[in-house]
Amino acid sequence: MDFSDIEKSKFFKNEKNLKKNSNHQTIIKTKKKNSKSINSSNFECDNTVNVDNIQINNIKSTFSKWSPSNWKKHLNNIKEMRRNYTAPVDRMGCQKCADESESGPVFRFQTLIALMLSSQTRDQITHNAMQRLKECRCTPEYIISISDEELGKLIFPVSFWKRKVQYLKKTSKIVLEKYNGDIPTNIHELSNLPGVGPKMAHICMNIAWNKISGIGVDTHVHRISNRLKWVPKPTKSPEETRLALESWLPKELWRDINYLFVGFGQEICRSQQPRCLQCLNKSICCYNNQYQF
């Protein structure tokens, strides 16, 4: 998905509107009274995702007056279905693409590049493209130094590879000129980079900087959230879904939702021919009961 200046301005406008939302005004009042409220700037987490460490039952949904019924049961069941790490995202997701032996700036840059390549592209294709780039030592200096044709051959056949060549070139130049070879440290500056949207930026903050800035909502998270009725009303875009989820889902779970839902969406809750009979949520899923798979 490509993000124009207009779309990015809508994204930042949504961020401002969210802060003004009455639910969030209630949250602010609650935080003043409760010294134990979560501060996202102090929240630390390990980059390695382990479903066994995702605690659900003891978490209270106090972030909004509204929350979906059975959401803890849904999540516990998804966690159980994801226990064996057999989805493509487990082996070839963007969290597996960057070279951990590289320096911090290079590791973060490679994470960003993997996310940019992953847009509307299967994990295996993204992972293979990153392997080819890393063989040439994927750095902003290298990407700028080679021709568009050479870069295109390295990332083909990712979706919209010709357009992504331009995005990679422009982003590499900005990273070198403005950030001394590293990537931005905040969600707004990341989202301003060519070809980087809100989903990529939030996931990049998570993987590259180990910071939780928001929920990374892709097509899987968007689809599953609507099927399970995790949104108060049907949402039309991933960004709308993100705002809805963040209004009630406890912040302790923001980091893991993308990882859990993507794998679940790849294996069970697929966009076409979902495997509802294999799903542990089939008896408490509105989508399954509606279509009676």
Residues annotated as catalytic are 199
**DSSP of the chain:** ----HHHHHHHHHHHHHHHHSHHHHHHHHHHHH-TT---GGG----SS--GGG---TT----S-S---TTHHHHHHHHHHHTTT--SHHHHHSGGGTS-TTS-HHHHHHHHHHHHHHHTTS-HHHHHHHHHHHHHT---HHHHHHS-HHHHHHHHTTSTTHHHHHHHHHHHHHHHHHHHTTS--SSHHHHHTSTT--HHHHHHHHHHHH----S----HHHHHHHHHTT-SSS--SSHHHHHHHHHTTS-GGGHHHHHHHHHHHHHHTS-SSS--GGG-TTGGG-HHHHHHT-
Residue pair 284/250 in contact by the 8 Å Cβ criterion:
no
11 φ/ψ sector (left φ>0, alpha ψ -120 to 50, else beta): alpha
In this structure, the chain runs to a length of 293
Residue pair 133/154 in contact by the 8 Å Cβ criterion:
yes
